[in-house]
Amino acid sequence: MDIQTIYQETIKFAAAKHHGQTVPGTNLPYIVHVSNVAMEVMMAAEHSAGFNLGFAIQVALLHDTLEDTSTTVDELTGLFGQNIAAAVSALTKNKALPQSEKMQDSLNRIKLLPKEVWAVKLADRITNLQKPPSHWSPAQINTYRNEALILLDELTGGNDYLEARLGKKIMSYDI
């Protein structure tokens, strides 16, 4: 299947699942965030030998469906296959864990999967490092920046292009 068809079929599913959700702190439909992550992944593919763009696009477009919608692993498996479902599951924080352990647990699971999954996590954080919400305190902004530094350190070796982009975003993140 060609990339355009993969993108269109997957974004339609993601848009339906995220219907009514907005990007936090904005009035933008949440699908804007999802498509921005996919765009980062598409650009990374141009700079990355052996990159499985079809797989990465689907994972990017679906990366928040388990965490933020009623989508189930079985539903993803049935529609998109076991590899996509496993990747999206790894990108999903385990709600049963204490907040302090959620990110590291997810990173540990991501690192067991193909580098395209690492790339999606890097792209997600790049996209999330926009101007901090106006209601965030300097401490919250600093915490989010520090999490991004941990993420970058943990996923070094996943995708040189996205690592460089994330490093630049972290350096310019407002405090």
List residues with catalytic annotation.
Answer: 67-68
- Contacting residues for 165 by C-beta, under 8 A, at least 6 apart: 40, 122, 126
51 by DSSP, 3-state: which? coil
Joined together, the tokens standing for residue 144 give 């989010």
Dihedral (CA of 72, 154, 120, 35) sign: positive
Cβ(158)–Cβ(119) below 8 Å = yes
**8-state DSSP, 35:** H
Distances from the Cα of 157 to the Cα of 99, 151, 163, angstroms: 26, 12, 8
